[in-house]
Amino acid sequence: MNRKELISQINEKQSFLCVGLDTDSTKLPKHLLSEKNPVLTFNKAMVDATKEYCVSYKINTAFYEAMGVKGWEIMEETLQYIPKTHLVIADAKRGDIGNTSSQYAKAFFETLPFDAVTVAPYMGEDSIRPFLEYENKFTIVLGLTSNKGARDFELQKTGDQFLYEKVLTTVASWGTPDNLMFVVGATQAKELASIRKIIPDNFLLVPGVGSQGGSLEEVSKYGMNKDCGLLVNASRAVIYAASDEQFAQAATQAAKAYNDEMKLHLKK
């Protein structure tokens, strides 16, 4: 999916919701445990329950890699089940020397045909360049995260800039808004105004709304651009909205609630 198609989906659905399929096998509704493949059954139910109200899905690969070969198979089957109308992100946070990154890019853009993958910028341009060479794919670079450890590096000053600001400025010059997005945590919402001065046109993947306490209103106020420019991710608040036999219906209601609020922000 390219940028134009993504914007079209956002306008059509009046939504910029990304549902995170961070499926933890220990948190599945108990009645699913008798299924042959409980995680896949759960994922398919989540997609069916939320696809009307979101434009993207984010698969956190760690939850699948932890299961070994079976987990990779579930990830692939989940990816195949998601409609082609939705942008699908591999939340893999890869980043290594160039030839290794080339293999990571091949893994997530060819072997598993994701539309986007998250990467870490610490090792510099040659670690990210292999991802950027793919057409109609997005490389999503970690920018400013919401975890406590952000203070260790991202929020340290380098000259007159914070390190994360230098990362945004530098990485933005390696690609274009057609192939580069950035991760900015929702709990850093007020920083979005200054971030938009650095990268006015790039899409931002914003985790942390919902269970982590981020405000959709603030994210929209400070981070939205003329094309919307946001993918707000909600994981636990949607997929674990209920743990009983009504889990899918609860997920639908949670996704719809986000969608309803997003419609209001898009009209402003």
- For residue range 90-135, list pLDDT tens digits in order: 999 999 998 999 999 999 999 999 999 999 999 999 999 999 999 9
Q: What is the mean pLDDT of residues 168-178?
A: 98
Write out the catalytic residue numbers: 93
Q: Report the alpha-carbon distance of residue 106 to residue 7 in Å, rounded.
A: 26
Helix (H, G, I), strand (E, B) or coil at 120: coil
The three-state secondary structure class of 154 is coil
What's the CA gap between 256 and 258, in Å, rounded? 5
Q: Give residue limits of the domains in the chain.
A: 3-266
Closest to 216 (Cα-Cα) out of 257, 252, 180: 257
CATH superfamily of 3-266: Aldolase class I (3.20.20.70)
Which pLDDT score, from 0 to 100, does residue 268 have? Answer: 74
243-250: Cβ within 8 A, 24+ apart: 243/27, 243/29, 243/30, 244/29, 244/31, 245/29, 245/31, 247/29, 247/42, 247/45, 248/45, 248/46, 248/48, 248/49, 249/49
Within its chain, how far is the Cα of 204 from the centroid?
9
The residue with tokens 């094309």 is 227
Tokens at 217, concatenated: 């209103």
Lowest mean pLDDT across 13-22, 33-42, 178-187, 204-213 = 204-213
CB 232 within 8 A of CB 16: yes
- Quote the CA–CA distance of 99 and 121 in Å, as a whole number: 15
pLDDT band per the 50, 70, 90 thresholds, residue 210: low
Q: Which two tokens stand for residue 218?
A: 């603030």
Please state the φ and ψ torsions of residue 142, each to the nearest 5 degrees.
-65, 125
Cα 189 from Cα 215, distance rounded (Å): 8
